[in-house]
Amino acid sequence: MNKLFLPFVLLLYVAVNAQDTLKYNAIYTKTYLETSQKNFNQAVKTADSLYTVSASPYFKVKSLMLLASLYQQSGDLKKSIGYAHKTEVLLEESDDYLWKAKVSGFLATQYRLLKLYNQSKKYSLKTFNLCDRIENKKVGNMTRGMAMQELAYYEQEREQFHKSNQYILKAQKYFNESGQKTDFFSANNEQLLGLNWYHLGDLDEAMVHYQKALDLNKGLPESHVTGLIYNGLAQVCIEKDDLKNAKKYLDLAEKISGSSGFLQLKDVVYNTAQQYYLKTNDVRNLTKVAIKKDSVNKKITEKSNAFINESYTKLYEQNHEISEGSFRKDVIIIIGAVLLILTIAGFMLYTRIKHRKNLKRFNEILEQVNRERKPESDPVPEIESFSEETEENERKTEQEYSVTMTTATERKILIKLYEFERSDIFTNNNISLPYLASLFETNTKYLSFIINTHKKKDFNNYINELRVYYVIKKLKINPKYRKYKIAVLAEEAGFSSQNKFATIFKKVTSMSPSLFIKHLEEEKVK
């Protein structure tokens, strides 16, 4: 999911009339849109210098927020939120409601990125309230547009894509009414619409919006939004099997992300690269990208954890000094932070244990498949060598079902079951117990008894398990099956629906079909 764009940062360079401000805005814009994409350290130095030489609170506020936005790009949320809260304190006694709204909106975005949705919602509501107090209505509309765009990102992360689209359209309405130059904001709106329609499965509509975004972005400096547009176009082309254009757009996105310090941009581009190399069966490049993606994810996680572990208490102690008598709130926040850390640690431990169990079960299944492929001299030797305990169990089952048959009949049915299991007759979705009994030249009572006694399951579970292992063998032996959609695999195995196949597959193997295929691909790479 695209979580990269920082709506309120770009509003920070809206110009006023003074000549010095125009010069300042030129440096500010160049630093944020150009320098930061090519030389992050230089951008930070420039922003820090702007803060040092700022003589008025207005320029100090603006410089601090530039630093906050730069550190957000690098994934250092501790410093990003720290600078934003420092700005919030600086503005506490000010009546500059425009800047208060910008800072509040920025913090709403940061807390959303950390998935601290209650804090994010708190600052979003604060932003809307502040917009009503901005005297310049056109600038107020621009700020409302940013607030709407932030809500669009929020709904996008909740996978409420239609609702996200509604907020994007409202944001564009406010941008249009602002009287400002809004190509950058409009390009990002179109990019967001493209991503939403991509997730909704309407690839043609997604392509239309990404092309609009590209057209709007032509006259602007290359930025992380440009990278997102190219990345989105690559994703759509991959889904359309237009691999030539997919590679073209992927290369353009990688060029931008490669020179950018924006970790989350790198992450989404690496994710698209994995899709492309998986589609083209390029194992070598798939492995390289996986290593790079793991490295970026590690950095993002470390920097997010740094904020949670080191800054959460300190930041809210600053809020305690601003807000009178908020000791109880601070205690609750600290406890919440500790619980959050414990939850994250527990989730990571649970994920690791579950992954190990899945791998163990995966290897057990492959060993079973390999054993079944070896020829057997006697397919049913167990009839002659039952233990006393097994014979006792069969006598109990026989009494329960009131079934009596000769050993010869039992062996005959078992041999036929053995041959049946090595055929693909069970993939016929109309197969039934009476049909199979007729095929075996026996009655349903005998056949049901043999399946219950020797296979330890009823007829339906027996057939479904055969179908699941049929798919597993196909996936193991023939790699092309791994590229098929789950619905195709379900139909070939004889299941009535994709959902039923997925449910039974997980019941038999303890994992989903897609996860099983992923393990097979990883085993091939190894």
Q: DSSP for 83-146?
A: HHHHHHHHTTT---HHHHHHHHHHHHHHHHHTT-HHHHHHHHHHHHHHHTT-S-HHHHHHHHHH
User: What percentage of the chain has pLDDT greater than the value 70?
Assistant: 77
Q: Residue 12 pLDDT more than 50?
A: no
C-alpha distances out from residue 471 to 319, 424, 482, 505, 510, Å: 58, 11, 10, 9, 15
Measured in whole angstroms, the distance separating CA 252 from the mean position of its chain's CA atoms is: 22
Tell the residue number behind the tokens 């996008």, with chain if given.
156
Which pLDDT score is estimated for 327? 53
Token pair belonging to 317: 């102690």
**What range does the domain containing 323 cover?**
297-370
Handedness of CA 199, 205, 209, 210 (dihedral sign): positive
Q: What is the pLDDT of residues 178-210, one digit of tens each?
A: 888 888 889 999 999 999 999 999 999 999 999
Residue 116 lies in a domain: no
pLDDT band at 332 (very low <50, low <70, confident <90, very high): low
Single-letter residue type at 87: T
Token pair belonging to 507: 């019941």
Residue 280 lies in a domain: no
Which pairs with CB-CB distance under 8 Å and at least 24 residues apart come from 273-278? 275/235, 275/238, 276/234, 276/238, 276/243, 276/246, 276/247, 276/250, 278/521
The span from the CA of 5 to the CA of 10, in Å, is 10
Token pair belonging to 471: 């798919």
Residues 6+ apart with CB under 8 A from 484: none
Which pLDDT score is estimated for 48? 84
Tell the residue number behind the tokens 């889904």, with chain if given.
239
Token pair belonging to 128: 């809307």
Same structural domain, 499 and 445: yes
Instruction: State which of 349, 370, 391 marks the end of a domain.
Output: 370
Residue 483 lies in a domain: yes
Single-letter residue type at 96: D
Same structural domain, 519 and 411: yes
* CB contact at 8 A, 164 and 156: yes
The span from the CA of 32 to the CA of 40, in Å, is 10
Q: Residue 442 pLDDT more than 50?
A: yes
Same structural domain, 411 and 357: no
Instruction: State which of 345, 370, 395 marks the end of a domain.
Output: 370
Q: What is the DSSP string of 241-258?
A: T-HHHHHHHHHHHHHHHH
The span from the CA of 469 to the CA of 479, in Å, is 15
Q: Residue 122 pLDDT more than 70?
A: yes
Q: What is the pLDDT of residues 370-383, one digit of tens each?
A: 665 444 445 555 44
Q: What is the pLDDT of residues 282-311, one digit of tens each?
A: 989 988 888 988 888 787 777 666 566 554
The span from the CA of 463 to the CA of 424, in Å, is 11
Same structural domain, 354 and 434: no
Residue 323 lies in a domain: yes
Q: Residue 281 pLDDT more than 70?
A: yes
Residue 254 lies in a domain: no
- Whole-number average pLDDT of the chain: 81
Same structural domain, 361 and 424: no
More confident residue, 400 or 491: 491
Q: What is the pLDDT of residues 202-241, one digit of tens each?
A: 999 999 999 999 999 998 888 889 999 999 999 999 999 9
Same structural domain, 432 and 502: yes
Domains: count for the chain:
2
Task: Indicate the range of 133-147, 407-421, 461-475 predicted with least confidence.
Answer: 133-147
Same structural domain, 444 and 336: no
Instruction: State which of 315, 343, 370 marks the end of a domain.
Output: 370
Nearest Cα to Cα of residue 503 among 475, 461, 474: 461
CATH number at residue 481: 1.10.10.60
The span from the CA of 218 to the CA of 348, in Å, is 43
Residue 493 lies in a domain: yes
The secondary structure of residue 373, as a DSSP letter, is T
Tell the residue number behind the tokens 């979003």, with chain if given.
124
Same structural domain, 435 and 496: yes
The span from the CA of 9 to the CA of 7, in Å, is 6
Same structural domain, 438 and 508: yes
Residue 456 lies in a domain: yes
Residues 6+ apart with CB under 8 A from 112: 3, 120, 150, 153, 154, 157
Same structural domain, 366 and 412: no
Q: Residue 414 pLDDT more than 70?
A: yes
Same structural domain, 507 and 419: yes
Single-letter residue type at 389: E
Residue 161 lies in a domain: no
Torsion-angle region of residue 305: left (phi > 0), alpha (psi -120 to 50) or beta? alpha
In this prediction, residues 341-367 reach a mean pLDDT of 60
What does pTM read for this prediction?
0.52
* CB contact at 8 A, 460 and 495: no
